[in-house]
Amino acid sequence: MASSDQTRLLLVEDVPQVAQYIRGLLNSQSTVKLLDVLSDGSKVLAQVQQLRPDVVLVDALLQGRIKGLVLAEQLAASGLGVPVIVLTVPQNPVVIDVAKGIHGVLAMPFSGFDLMNRIVQVRKDFATISTTGSSRIYSVFAPKGGVGKTTIAFNLAVALGQADQRTVLIDGSLQFGDLRSLLKVPVDAPSILDLPTDRVAESDLQDVLWRDPSGIDILLAPPRVEMAEMVTARDLDKILSLLRRVYGSIVIDMSSALNDINLSFLDLSDTIVEIVTYDSTTIHNTIAVADAFRMIGYPASKVRYLVNRADSPGGIEPVDLERAIGRVPEHRVVSDGLLVVQSNNEGVPFVLANPSAAISQDLHRVAAELLAASGIIRPAAAGRR
């Protein structure tokens, strides 16, 4: 999946001199790509659907059947999800009014610096207001393989879905597609690579997400190892921004590496659920990752530790684990090898296969505690078993 960091701009301007001036400003830089210049407002909606710009620049004094400010309102009402910057002159003041589709205003005359700054800021602000405030991204991460990360991520996503959260699970192990294996998904099932490379729309998700019988949606990893390189950090930014608008809970099953892709996942996450077990190697790696997170600048509150197989200490005292990570882990999940193995072999979540099992109750409690920490449900609900 290829992507560019450029902002894709559509200009709606019927004064040739102004259009040429803006072309000249844009020609001298590489961060904004001018897709087209339209002089007829009646053609804009169709072109936005086709070209999928990141920002539309509209002249408030646009002549013709559809005036500039009317066009801004039409774009807002269309649901196409694109911010509008209105060009004007001091004699014709325009104020920002998101309800009317005006996300930014630029008064002439303006410099190239003014133009670039306004485009970048409006796009950034629009991405912020477009995200649903109650949506949360939970990255399930482990500093070492073999600790049950994918199983936990899958069952956690299902538990969140049962808590009345519309939930999507992302297979963040882009090279090896752990969820493809766990759920026995056909090799030709759509993956993250089937999403558009420029602008992702809600309609694009319908044909790409895998609908699991458990009730959650799953965005699968590429079917082959070498295809993982086709996904960029910029792609993830766009995809997660869209998913936030559609889903209340987004769970990412990550790989153990701290590479550019995983750091993008972690940066965009509200909470990192880090899995640790009573294993000396896992604990050592957990300490190393904690140091890396501090260097990156993640606050301690962004990470919540989950002790998997918490009833199997293997000679390591719980206090030793607490001393190593510098705090008491927030979550505990007991072991149930027979249920987990059988459920995984059948490709079903154990929280549905046996809801009354202690391990299932633990996962439901983890889901409730995460929602409570995010302010989505009352903290009292998190204590129920």
CA distance 268 to 271: 9
pLDDT at residue 284, as a whole number: 94
pLDDT at residue 134, as a whole number: 67
pLDDT at residue 156, as a whole number: 97
Decide: helix, strand or coil at residue 85.
strand
pLDDT at residue 58, as a whole number: 94
pLDDT at residue 2, as a whole number: 37
pLDDT at residue 342, as a whole number: 95
pLDDT at residue 220, as a whole number: 94
pLDDT at residue 228, as a whole number: 86
Report pLDDT digits (tens) over 233-288. Answer: 888 888 888 888 888 999 999 998 888 899 999 999 999 999 999 999 999 999 99
Report pLDDT digits (tens) over 191-206. Answer: 998 887 666 666 678 7
70-93 mean pLDDT: 88
Percent share of the chain, pLDDT over 90: 50
User: In which order are the strands placed within the sheet that holds 104-107?
Assistant: 32-38, 7-12, 55-59, 84-88, 104-107
pLDDT at residue 383, as a whole number: 46
| CATH class (in words) of the domain with range 136-383 | alpha beta
> From the CB of residue 109, how many other CB atoms can be counted at a distance below 10 Å?
8
CATH 3.40.50.720 for the 7-130 domain, yes or no? no
Vertex 242 angle, CA 217 and 223, to 5°: 50
Residue 382 binned pLDDT confidence (cut-offs 50, 70, 90) = very low
| CA–CA distances in Å: residue 226 to residues 70, 182, 195, 229, 310 | 48, 20, 18, 6, 36
Nearest C-alpha neighbor of 357 from the set 293, 307, 311: 311
CA distance 180 to 173: 10
**Which token pair is 282?**
């896992």
Percent share of the chain, pLDDT over 70: 92
CA distance 197 to 238: 9
Residue 4 binned pLDDT confidence (cut-offs 50, 70, 90) = very low
Report pLDDT digits (tens) over 136-183. Answer: 999 999 999 899 999 999 999 999 999 888 899 999 998 888 888 888
Q: Do domains 7-130 and 136-383 have the same CATH topology?
A: yes
The domain segmentation of the chain, as residue ranges, is: 7-130, 136-383
pLDDT at residue 244, as a whole number: 85
Mean pLDDT for the chain overall? 88
Of the listed ranges 44-48, 103-107, 174-178, 340-344, the one predicted with least confidence: 174-178
**Which token pair is 22?**
């803006």
**Which token pair is 207?**
């044909």
**Which token pair is 330?**
């927030």
Amino acid letter, 160: L
pLDDT at residue 164, as a whole number: 81
Beta strands in 155-228 (DSSP E): 167-172, 210-211, 217-219
pLDDT at residue 381, as a whole number: 43
Residue 95 binned pLDDT confidence (cut-offs 50, 70, 90) = confident
| Three-state SS sequence of 302-314 | HEEEEEECCCCCC
Residue 129 binned pLDDT confidence (cut-offs 50, 70, 90) = low
Report which of residues 274 and 4 the model is more confident about: 274
pLDDT at residue 1, as a whole number: 42
Phi, psi of 248 (to 5 degrees): -75, -35
Residue 196: cis peptide before it, omega within 30 degrees of 0? no
**Which token pair is 325?**
């990570």
Decide: helix, strand or coil at residue 130.
helix
Cβ atoms of residues 241 and 125 within 8 Å: no
> Residue 38's beta-bridge partner residues?
12
Cβ atoms of residues 44 and 69 within 8 Å: no
